[in-house]
Structure 1
């Protein structure tokens, strides 16, 4: 599902396209997601004009053809009473509703019932869209074409002036000077968008000279295929069909065997639900990393894959190369992090200067600002999720990895409830199970900045600490004591204090951090090394000891209550009532 900010951009570009067609006397008549493409820069392009009608210059001119995709047809098309270009604005509303809510406004069990709903059913408007979005939808879903938004000589100007598009600069949009929310990841052999009608055809074979009987001996041991790939389980009985459907629906996820394109090599690291390997592309011989997830039902990777494809153009987000779903195993192929973790650099150099710490943090914060600008929160920022793509370990080669906990917010003020994080980097309001937003990432960045400057963490944790103890410690103000902090500038201390403020509303945003004077003057910061880390293993232990999700700790004290008190039970009841109301024909 899109954020309203995304919907606003795409609908505005689509409105420009429709208005241009209408000005030429063309009624489009087949507006639906399949007929809207993205160019290499992320701007929309309408396609498939097979059902379009020319020579309909005004609203009074009508055409009577019954055509289009039924769910997107306007009432006047369904009733065959004649329609003009205003019918396109009804379809525009259907598309807007689908993008904002994730489902169609009128959709019955069959074609006839769907048409009856278009003509008679009351629109079931969800409560979570903004008031501006609800207003736009209600004005587009007028069954009388003359009353519909977009009708009349000033129809398009009325759409432009609607409050939903208040922040759109229409002149810049027309000149394509507004950056799209999504830029498609494209590389030379990218073939994900080819129609399966063509790619599934059996290629014509021209037999060559038959090989000799012993020809296969020449290739004995030519290529190694890991047994785990050959013997991968094909049964789908161990994981959720919902996860399977999501994985199969993601554009870009291949369902051809991973071993056809890549050679699996040695393991680079192990996680609870996945293993990272080095792999080699069979055709180009280039090296990559591949995250192998044996059972995606334990930790659904579809959200991470979607985000990686969507934000593949961001410089300092790990770049995805391919994704495979070989039931039940998922393979996520990314660039290889040859420089290791950020903490490996700290271990090697023992300490960093304030200037170098500022340069590292600026790259990370700038990247997080780009994610926040697109309503994405990372939710698991820690040194092991910040790596170097090459061995020189310069700030320019930094990459933020592991978007497994990242979340696309539903609305511009969308707050998240799922408590998934690492304890050491978890903000107090998360530990308290309160709603939280981008400010949690700022908290984690504050912990990281403190660690880079001081060589230790601001809150020392024991392996058996509960989240209540951690919460009590994080509620205290950070102390800057010791000889190391005497060599750190006051501006840096002020910044750390602000980022680690217990009140999330008082923390600076990522954009405000990018403009902070400490970063603006980082070239003039002291370049002398701060105090060495005396016990690297102790510092690493403080960072790694509580990497498990806090749910494991909290679940011990859970008490069962009546099922009627469950939020999930209430939500499903509301959803069931909503579906019944939608299907009711009045």
Structure 2
């Protein structure tokens, strides 16, 4: 596995040369802008996304947030893949830390789903997007990286119509478990948390044990809707608490992280987890693309977690290769889950992908959706705009758009167990 420290440093960004075209959104770790290099690209023919982190307003403790941001840039610097972003540049001042990645004008998969009939994708579209996501995850796992935050909002559509995974601040590097008695772990970004947070983590572990009951079917579902019709979904990006659990071929992480409706049962049970959590999340994603909702959504976070632990996904209509794939990805036992033994190879061999030419996916010229560049992007360029440094100097209040292009949607907003 590549050593992150052996990677060359990213090219520096000259902040005074970066002109803001518009705010793409605001997330847990910072604000994302669409910018262009006013010196080398004055007409903004090749804009890019700039993720900036204001050091004075970190959502967590300052050391943790800074560690998470630096960890994400470390991961990005290692990526060289058509379905994953690359680090275009990096810069840091006493006030902000920022890094550049390619711009994806097609928005995210959640926003795209809401443009579809009945807010679901066709089986052909599902097959295309799932295949590209499988290949992207396969590459990450080859590098020893567990992604751990797969969800529609983190799947962006490139100008070409192909996908790109984004947001790697919850990812983690896992190393082969060569010596079970003296296992050394890579530390999770942000493992230094207040004792109160660790206590609440232990309390939820107790709750998880109490609900380990035989599988029970639930028929009721609840959803909430934002002003623009997009479904509001909350998130459980919870404080990691690391422990040692040397019981597999790879080290296992015990961090309680992820997005509420996509969290794998082994994370909730505190059993330790590996790459298989990404295949679980792929199953949840596939279900949402097929039915327009996630399979275990409850009235609140506690009920959602109980459903993840207790109930099986409910399918409508006749069994098919697609429902079989979802069922095998959503096996609550990670050792029996599709992808556990041989990784992505097992998933590629499933009948849902029969006939798919995996090595030719990058050459597909007519994906299910081709984005058009918004002409309004150039409005600020024509006005002259402001550079990124001036933006932070003049606009102290946080921008209103959200990080997900699914604006006005709470999109699985960041929370912790203190909200229970």
Which gives a bigger RCO, structure 1 or 2 (Cα 8 Å, sep 6+)?
A: 2
Whether TM-score is above 0.5 comes out as no
Structure number with higher helix proportion: 1
Give the alignment's TM-score, normalised by structure 2: 0.44
Larger radius of gyration: 1
